[in-house]
Amino acid sequence: MVSAKSLTNSDKGLLVIVYQGHEGAYSHLACRHVFPDRQARPCPTFRAAMEEVEHGRAELAMIPVENSTAGRVEEIYRLIPKMSLHIVAEHFEPVNHCLLAKKGTQLSDLKTVFSHPQALAQCANHILSLNLDPHATLDTAGAAFQISQETRSDHAAIASSLAAELYGLDIIKEQFQDLSGNTTRFIILSHSEQLPPLEVGEEYLTSILFKVRNIPAALYKALGGFATNGVNLIKLESYTPGGSLSASQFHVDIEGHPASKSLTRALEELHFFAEDVRMLGTYRAHSFRNSRQFQD
């Protein structure tokens, strides 16, 4: 569990953490789990949430970057380079899709189900087995809110248990997804860098942005220092910066702390071969990474 206290030095009142989506979204649920005593505020888009932090209107943002079923959230990797934000923590949130309906509704009453396209896809077999007609919405919590405002008793939504609580709906079925183990990885963003001290026995991740020229073996040379110094790269994302086809930008997640000798040497070599190297943040690895589910 990430400590909310460890992520802020502010004593100016209530810490505000923002997220994308309606109240009751899985990002909202992640905020509740990590910061149960803090104010969580919704934003209409990922950009809006990140700008709230960048402009000082919120201290932190809970942002999803990848899902074990749906894959990466590509938009986030394009937004991060445009923002002056730092990664201060990560969080893994299990996704428990619930079939929700108005109070007193029976399973046999249902004919139509609403949710985000990814949620509908992840529950496709159960939807088919109940002979429900699926309809896509912009997000899961929005579908739950829609159902709560209707008078019909044959409509259902697929959303979180928090959405059921907030919108006064019954949970008709829990764990409605077809496959177990669906998990979303979030990063927690801050306007200020919060480098944790290097402690023996702790595991750390360091996230970096850099560019390489479009020449043979440029990436091989830039990453070679990590291999020769025994530093493990656990994620590599590549994309072309806007307006340019002559250079590539990379986002890497690395095991280690920049105060360690091995990563210090590896970063020295990276600076020699790469351009515009930017440290996005160093943070403690979430305990989920050591679970059997993550290893499998």
Six-digit token string for 136 = 């896509």
Domains along the chain? 5-95+182-190 (3.40.190.10), 98-173 (3.40.190.10), 204-295 (3.30.70.260)
**What average pLDDT does this structure show over 202-212?**
94
Is the confidence at residue 3, as pLDDT, over 90? Answer: no
**What average pLDDT does this structure show over 24-47?**
95
Q: Are 52 and 18 in contact (CB under 8 A)?
A: yes
Q: Are 256 and 230 in contact (CB under 8 A)?
A: no
In 3-state terms, the chain is what percent helix, strand and coil (to 5)?
A: 30, 30, 35
Q: Cα-atom radius of gyration of the chain, to the nearest Å?
A: 21
pLDDT score at 213: 74
Answer with the residue of higher pLDDT: 187 or 38.
187
Does 186 participate in catalysis according to the annotation?
A: yes
Is the confidence at residue 233, as pLDDT, over 90? Answer: yes
Q: How far is it, in rounded angstroms, from Cα 182 to Cα 205?
A: 22
**105, 184, 206, 282: the active-site residue:** 184
- Position 110 confidence tier, pLDDT thresholds 50, 70, 90: very high
**35, 186, 226, 250: the active-site residue:** 186
Does 206 participate in catalysis according to the annotation?
A: no
Concatenate the DSSP letters of all residues of 155-193 into one string.
EEEEE-HHHHHHHTEEEEESS-SSSS--EEEEEEEESS-
CA dihedral (66, 72, 77, 80) in degrees, to 10, reads -20
Residues comprising the chain, all counted:
296
